[in-house]
Amino acid sequence: MGEALPRGSFQKLELNAGGLRTAFSSLSSSLTTLRTGKELKLRANVEIRKDQGKDDEAGFVSSATSWLIYNSTGLPASEVDKYKYVLTKRDLVKTCFDAAHTGLAFFRHPFAQGVERFVYRCAEVFIPEDKLNEWYAGQARGATMRAFRGAYRLVAKEAKHTENLGRRFQAEMARIQAEAGEIARTFNRRVAGPPSMQLLFLEVSVYHCYDESYPNNEAWVLVEQELEGKFRKWNNNNGNVYTLPLAAEPPASARAGQSSVLGAICEEEEEDDNEDEDDEATIDVNLVLNELPQCFSHFSYEHTQGRTLVCDLQGVWNASDGFVLTDPVLHHISKKGSRRHKNGGTDKGAQGVLSFFKTHTCGQLCRQLGLKAPDLADLAKAANEEARLCLICLDRPRATRFGPCRHASCCEECASRLVASRERCPICRAPITDVIERGVQVAMQPTLVS
């Protein structure tokens, strides 16, 4: 059980109220820290509404029905800019809106959430030129605002934690999906299969909206097209593999009455789709399609020369488009053992890679591509080294033990800074009185002894 936890370890506690209180305090305060390396503050007053109500009048969105509308042709207080992440520039690059669209709107309340982000209904919008004066006048007097919505249904994803409400976080999320997409394109060329065996990640855009209710008057959201079809998960970022019977998608006419799937983020959630009806005519194809996502994760590790593994593969599949995926996780292994969370809080580094290969079994496609399983002992050694890094800087080995809690969590430099500023222990959040042990031997010992 301890090995299944990020930076996990067992704690030997006395059978009394104080020991139990310490355990529960450590658990509740470290849920975010386990994923991010630091404690983040969850945004307040964000209400999840899975029942989003009825759509607005056909072709419109309205502030009266809880839509936030930002239009780049309006007054300065309603400006919005659109960006794309360009891999060659390693940054967001300003781009134009699609067709005649001039702005963005998203529903005030999210309908889903993941480890790091909330998910909202969204649409690009436009104000016809003959309606601009009416729009300006409405803004000036604080009236109900309406805008024409674009044809494509979109979803917007926004940071859950106050520290991530900015450009940098959304740029990183866009980079992760763009890098996964680039690896997928190489994989598709290697496989050279029919459309049903192609794999791609949705292209995303990042929008910068002027909003006085946000820090620095800036709202940053990542937007992508809404997925249509049955949302599925093939693996997650902790080594779990989901084998699903995938019958061919029904024709468009049969899907017309179905509600489309809003592109939910479910990094740590599991869906039970094993109750789908088996189709004897497609079972062989289903087996191939279950193998392909796992093969892609294996391929990503070998293609990046053991630096990165793409997993948490989720999205939709149909015979015409193949796999259309979103919200991947990239486990990154730094050669220097640092920057464990280069790719966000779901990046588990060497431990994530090790978890995948512990459960992965190479099939026919892996063998056809010449993929070889890595040495699990080497991965375990790298994961063990990462687990002993300082929880604050994630660069240097732990070399101190705090009193009175006896947790070994920091290097010398970070420990000195915490003691001087009277901070709390990063593991249990107990007040730090002093450093009771120093030296490199600390990293080789349990983080808590009784």
Q: Are residues 160 and 72 in the same domain?
A: yes
- Residue 190, domain member (yes or no): no
**Can you give the pLDDT at residue 392?**
85
Domain boundary among 341, 358, 387: 387
pLDDT score, position 286: 64
The residues with which 396 forms a beta bridge, in sequence order, are: none
Are 402 and 440 in a shared domain? yes
Q: Are residues 364 and 407 in the same domain?
A: no
Does one domain contain both 407 and 336? no
DSSP 6: T
Residues 160 and 54 in one domain: yes
Report the C-alpha gap between 397 and 393 in whole angstroms: 10
Residues 276-328 pLDDT 10s: 444 333 434 666 688 999 999 999 999 999 999 999 999 999 888 999 999 99
Tell me the helix, strand and coil percentages in the chain, rounded to 5.
30, 25, 45
Chain segment 191-219, per-residue pLDDT in tens: 998 898 999 999 999 999 988 888 888 99
Q: Residue 173: CB partners within 8 Å, gap ≥ 6?
A: 117, 157, 204, 222, 344
pLDDT (0 to 100) of residue 35: 38
Q: 73 and 208 in one domain?
A: yes
**Assigned domain for 174 exists:** yes
Are 81 and 216 members of one domain? yes
Does 91 fall in a domain? yes
CB 399 within 8 A of CB 411: yes
Helix (H) or strand (E) segment spanning residue 149? strand 146-149
Output the pLDDT for position 257: 36
Q: What pLDDT is attached to residue 38?
A: 53
Distance from C-alpha of 272 to C-alpha of 240, rounded to nearest angstrom: 13
Residue 321 forms part of a structural domain: yes
- What is the model's pLDDT at position 81? 92
We report the CATH number of the domain holding residue 448 as 3.30.40.10
Residue numbers of the domain that contains 290: 229-242+280-387
Q: Specify whether 222 is located in the same domain as 236.
A: no
Question: Does any domain span residue 5?
Answer: no
Q: How many CB atoms lie within 10 A of CB 303?
A: 20
- 154 and 220 in a common domain: yes
In this structure, what CATH number is given to the domain that contains residue 125? 3.30.200
- Based on the domain organization, do 363 and 395 belong to the same domain? no
- Residue 426 covered by a domain: yes
In a domain, 12, yes or no: no
Number of separate domains in the chain: 3
Domain end (from 353, 387, 421): 387
Per-residue pLDDT in tens (0 to 9) along the chain, 450 residues: 343 343 343 444 444 444 443 333 333 333 334 333 456 788 888 888 887 766 666 788 888 888 888 888 645 455 899 999 999 999 999 998 887 888 999 999 999 998 889 999 999 998 887 777 777 777 777 788 888 888 788 999 999 999 999 999 999 999 999 999 999 999 999 999 889 899 999 999 999 998 888 888 899 999 999 999 989 999 998 889 988 665 444 444 334 333 344 444 544 444 444 444 443 334 346 666 889 999 999 999 999 999 999 999 999 998 889 999 999 999 998 766 555 567 887 888 898 999 999 999 999 899 999 999 999 999 988 888 888 888 888 788 889 999 998 898 899 999 999 998 888 898 888 899 889 999 878 877 755 433
CATH number at residue 378: 3.20.200.10
241, two tokens: 């593999």
Residues 80 and 162 in one domain: yes
The answer to whether position 234 is within a domain reads yes
One domain, residues 406 and 363: no
Please state the length of the chain. 450
Which of 387, 414, 431 marks a domain boundary?
A: 387
Cα(261)–Cα(106) distance, integer angstroms: 17
